[in-house]
Amino acid sequence: MSYAIIGFGSVGKALAKAFARKGIDISVATTRDPESFALDAATIGPNVIATTLAKAVKADIIFLAVRFESHSQVAKALPDWKGKTIIDAMNTQVPPEELGGLPSSAFVAKAFSGARLVKGFNHLVAATLAQDPAIHSGRRVVFLASDDDDAGEEIGMLAENLGFSPIRLGGLSEGGLLVQARGKSWGRLIFKDLVKFD
Ligand SMILES: NC(=O)c1ccc[n+]([C@@H]2O[C@H](COP(=O)([O-])OP(=O)(O)OC[C@H]3O[C@@H](n4cnc5c(N)ncnc54)[C@H](OP(=O)(O)O)[C@@H]3O)[C@@H](O)[C@H]2O)c1
């Protein structure tokens, strides 16, 4: 299984740290020449590899950590996203009417035609997401929502491997709305920093 993060800002770097902590290879890409951020990537860990967008989208599992406005540009990198799992870590306060009334991740899924989409890793501020999820003898919670059960399961296992405690919220238009901004109001679980104790 191969992994990539598109976007290497606050959230992209926080996610890269999670992979580095566990020694799992991760490619990171932006619109820029990878040489321009290769040192930043290597500083996070030797397994964090700066690459081009064209190469990053070859990964099996791809985190979207760009501004919502940029996702349609990223979607153009492949004509068809069949076989890929996309994790939508984005937030947006675009009003629902501008998204055709769809949950934001369902709107994103339409752009990444053929992909299996999971909304997740988006509810914490980047500085919190960047911290080691093993805290107080527990594990920090990440919420996952997907209309594809297998994809939800797959990303749940990845979240566990990264040291988080995943909580599956069901489909995008049910649990997904709990971790989504709707216009100017935030879903009730956004910013809730929870820790699970076994
Ligand atoms: N910041 C937070 O605390 C936080 C928390 C939860 C969720 N989020 C969500 O996470 C997403 C990222 O937020 P952020 O704060 O990390 O943003 P950011 O710091 O502005 O980083 C965005 C990254 O995306 C890259 N990018 C922009 N357009 C791109 C494109 N077309 N193709 C590839 N890369 C592109 C940018 O690099 P270049 O411009 O150099 O290409 C930059 O590395 C947003 O949707 C935000 O709502 C943020």
Residue 145 has pLDDT above 90, yes or no: yes
Q: Would you state the pLDDT for residue 183?
A: 80
Average pLDDT value for residue range 10-39: 98
Q: Would you state the pLDDT for residue 29?
A: 98
pLDDT class of 37 with cuts at 50, 70, 90: very high
CA angle 195, 85, 122 (to 5 degrees): 35
Distance CA 70, CA 26 (A): 21
Q: Would you state the pLDDT for residue 198?
A: 84
Q: DSSP letter for 65, please.
A: -
Q: Would you state the pLDDT for residue 142?
A: 98
Task: For residue 134, report the phi and psi dihedrals to the nearest 5 degrees.
Answer: -85, 100
Task: For residue 195, report the phi and psi dihedrals to the nearest 5 degrees.
Answer: -125, 135
| Closest Cα to atom 23 of ligand 1 | 7
Contact 152, 143 (CB under 8 A): no
Task: Kindly list the protein residues whose Cβ atom lies closer than 6 A to any atom of ligand 1.
Answer: 6-12, 29-32, 53, 65-68, 70, 73-74, 89-91, 122, 125-126
| Closest Cα to atom 37 of ligand 1 | 30
Ligand 1 centroid from CA 7, angstroms: 5
Range with lowest mean pLDDT among 92-96, 105-109, 128-132: 92-96
**pLDDT by residue (tens digit) across 114-138?**
999 999 999 999 999 999 999 989 9
Q: Which atom of ligand 1 is nearest to the CA of 68?
A: 45
Look over the chain and give the mean of its residue pLDDT values, rounded to a whole number: 97
- What is the pairing mode between strands 138-146 and 195-196? antiparallel
φ/ψ bin of 73: left (φ > 0), alpha (ψ from -120 to 50), beta (otherwise): alpha
Residue boundaries of the structural domains of the chain: 3-196
Ligand 1 centroid from CA 51, angstroms: 16
Q: Would you state the pLDDT for residue 96?
A: 86
Q: Would you state the pLDDT for residue 103?
A: 94
pLDDT class of 184 with cuts at 50, 70, 90: confident
Ligand 1 centroid from CA 58, angstroms: 20
Q: Would you state the pLDDT for residue 30?
A: 98
Which residue, 73, 72, 69, 51, is CA-closest to 3?
51
| Answer CATH for 3-196 from 3.30.70.890, 3.40.50.300, 3.90.1150.10, 3.40.50.720 | 3.40.50.720
Residue 182 has pLDDT above 90, yes or no: no
Ligand 1 centroid from CA 82, angstroms: 24
